[in-house]
Amino acid sequence: IGTTYKRSDEERSLVLDRYNQAKLNKPISKQALKRWFSDKYLENNPKTYDLFKRILNKEPKDHKNFLKAYELFANHIDDVAAIKKIDQKTLVMTGSDDIGSTPAMSKELVKDLINSTYIEIQNGKHLCSIECVDDVNMKIKNFINN
């Protein structure tokens, strides 16, 4: 769910910019939450909003650990040759409104995975697995049972 497969140079640059902001300890939580959830969901689920805001605005020690993970994510290069060797039945899913891990990226992954299926969650953003949990779970269940 929500791959960043074959990011363009522009897409990679945006992620690196966010990483560099995080390194300077500039807050990225509001930006991230807008990419991850719809405004309506955040309005109707203030506890979720607060939880993710706390996760993204951790203490200095936790921030250092976050930066390590974010650096790996920001600088990751796909191993296309390895991806093309995967022949297991694979579900690739993304939200239709995910601007960071776009439907186009997921469709590119499906092209390179031999035995894959693409499903797009309508009106879903990056964390559609939370916001659209029933739809996502039903799609996974149907995939497994087929």
Residue 139 vs residue 27, higher pLDDT: 139
- pLDDT tens figures, 11-48: 999 999 988 888 887 767 788 888 999 999 999 999 99
Confidence band for 67, pLDDT divided at 50, 70 and 90: confident
Which residue from 3, 4, 27 is spatially nearest to 90, judged by alpha carbons? 3
Residue 59: predicted pLDDT: 65
Is the distance from CB of 22 to CB of 70 less than 8 angstroms? yes
Check pLDDT > 80 for residue 55. Answer: no
Residue 53, pLDDT > 90, answer: no
The pTM for the full model equals 0.87
Contact 3, 106 (CB under 8 A): yes
Contacts of 97 (CB under 8 A, 6+ apart): 38, 123, 124, 125
Q: Are 66 and 90 spatial neighbours (Cβ–Cβ below 8 Å)?
A: no
Q: What is the mean pLDDT of residues 2-6?
A: 94
